Structure 1
């Protein structure tokens, strides 16, 4: 029972991370297409600037839970998927540097360099997260000792690439909607148009990804065994359909919330589809790690559950307060302040 609870909590942490950090990753990947002037680029940076580092807390939490609740899964995961996870780490480090270093030198060339770094690493992070999870769903070639039987290129299979492109489009849509909330005038108009284009891309890639999921994974098997799980993809599709409806009516926060709900449901759709598996071996089924054979002891899980029930609501309340505090659009006056990016 405790293993299942922690499996669901592990999934939830990843889902919250995708909702919160997804918008600034997507916004960074979208920046060259919508921010053409220096002021617009600074608007984009300041739309995500107060949030990105707090959002990454949920990635740390997801990694920490994997380490503490499912230590064997953590060990095998970082052995088999070492290369993409290391590339993701470098991308996130460089993203942080791009925020802080961009305005350290008053030079257009210097700022342009960091703008391109910011775009490339955000683009790479979106793709890597999609490739990572797509391969988790499909299975990875490793043996009972956690020795990976492939290379980085083997992860860039058709299903992995489809997952990467789908995550990229979903995060860009999420980020474009966020920019409509945080901007005004011409930039808001461009962000709204970008959100519409990204929505079409997400809808198309969702269909492609689901078709490939049917042929490349066993995810749909769980949905035949537990039909009630169908509520997850149904709710995801419903949330996605409501995104343009809310945007057209000017309900920007509702549109962003619908986009966030879509990301949550998609995450649960995939992860609950492989339950109780967590790390599937495509070459040796006996080596597959589940929520049960890869979990910590019951005492550890009990103690962690108590800590989580106390601390997670506190973190959520703090982040709610932070988002409420910085909920207003970025203004030209704010760009002139000392704390602006």
Structure 2
């Protein structure tokens, strides 16, 4: 197998991990005003992701770095053409991180409400725009013969792209509700489980519409199989949530998102960014790749450090595996961050 194909697959795996892990982070943030009726309840929700949210973002950093090093032409065209939506995502992620750190600094209700709003919008914007961005990568964008993006921002807001954004938004909401049901106890747990079933049904309809559209446009047998597995996993997760099996429910949405992303990359391959212009040049794993020597060095580095990162993150989830509830949160929290 060529190293260009290997690195395309590795980048796909990184995005699978990012969406499956950061997806429930976004979901928890968006559900903060829905399931958190009191400050202590909102504190419980924040604490479910407090130990892991920043570690989950490492997948995005590595995916971006790997794309820059392995496929520099893809990286350059992507960031020049998608500059505004990617900038909005970056700003949202920055202020979202600030919300985690600053919310607890003052025992003032208005102060906390403002940071809760920042956390909500800082989760909603990436959840929506990541779907829009990936839908445009799959659909194709105007790229000329010099591999330059020639469109504008509004070229990205097509019905297909907006449907992709709606899909990721609803899937992350469902995934977040499943995670809250898994990680909490008491009234929050049962409310989250009930909400997860309702959200899951809507998310399933939208996901089937988007993945079906994608399959008709660019899919093949491999992507069709991946989409089928993702759909079955999502339905299984919803059924498990309805039966009160939170662990299996969360596993269902986790697999659905990860395998669904895999299907999108299978539908995209061997392109990395198709061109919609008649005389344009599509970016592929061949013409967008770095030199063979660069890919060899990257492969050695990835083989050494990837297992270490995976082991550390698995250890983190194991340490913070227990459920939390309102009675674990003191009435007044003066100087403690997410824990």
TM-score (ref. length: structure 2): 0.94
Q: 1:250–1:289: structure 2 CA closer, same or farther, 3 Å change rule?
A: same
* 1:113-152 aligned within 5 A: 113-152=114-153
In the alignment, is the contact (CA less than 8 A) between 1:3 and 1:291 conserved in 2? yes
Alignment pair present for 1:271 and 2:265:
yes
Distance 2:72 2:149 in 1: 17
In the alignment, is the contact (CA less than 8 A) between 2:81 and 2:149 conserved in 1? yes
Give the equivalent residue in structure 2 for 1:245.
239
In the alignment, is the contact (CA less than 8 A) between 1:219 and 1:270 conserved in 2? no
State which drifts further: 178-187 or 143-152.
Answer: 143-152
* 1:143-222 aligned within 5 A: 143-213=144-214, 218-220=217-219
Say what the alpha-carbon RMSD is for the aligned residues. Answer: 1.6
Q: Secondary structure at the match of 2:141?
A: coil
In the alignment, is the contact (CA less than 8 A) between 1:80 and 1:142 conserved in 2? no
Distance 2:242 2:166 in 1: 26
Choose which of 313, 332, 337 in structure 2 pairs with 1:319: 313
Provide structure 2 residue ranges, at least 5 long, that are not aligned to the other structure: none
How far apart are 1:40 and its partner, in Å?
1.1
Q: 1:295–1:147: structure 2 CA closer, same or farther, 3 Å change rule?
A: closer
Distance 2:294 2:245 in 1: 44
In the alignment, is the contact (CA less than 8 A) between 1:26 and 1:174 conserved in 2? yes
Choose which of 276, 283, 298 in structure 2 pairs with 1:282: 276
In the alignment, is the contact (CA less than 8 A) between 1:239 and 1:258 conserved in 2? yes
Choose which of 248, 251, 256 in structure 2 pairs with 1:254: 248
Alignment pair present for 1:328 and 2:322:
yes
Q: Secondary structure at the match of 1:287?
A: coil
Distance 2:5 2:142 in 1: 25
Give the equivalent residue in structure 2 for 1:36.
37
How far apart are 1:316 and its partner, in Å?
0.8
How far apart are 1:229 and its partner, in Å?
4.4
In the alignment, is the contact (CA less than 8 A) between 1:130 and 1:167 conserved in 2? yes
Distance 1:188 1:109 in 2: 26
Q: 1:125–1:300: structure 2 CA closer, same or farther, 3 Å change rule?
A: same
How many residues end up aligned between the 2 structures?
334
How far apart are 1:197 and its partner, in Å?
1.2
Distance 1:334 1:33 in 2: 20
Choose which of 288, 295, 299 in structure 1 pairs with 2:289: 295
In the alignment, is the contact (CA less than 8 A) between 2:41 and 2:326 conserved in 1? no
Provide structure 1 residue ranges, at least 5 long, that are not aligned to the other structure: none
How far apart are 1:66 and its partner, in Å?
0.2
Q: 1:214–1:235: structure 2 CA closer, same or farther, 3 Å change rule?
A: closer
How far apart are 1:37 and its partner, in Å?
1.1
In the alignment, is the contact (CA less than 8 A) between 2:208 and 2:231 conserved in 1? no
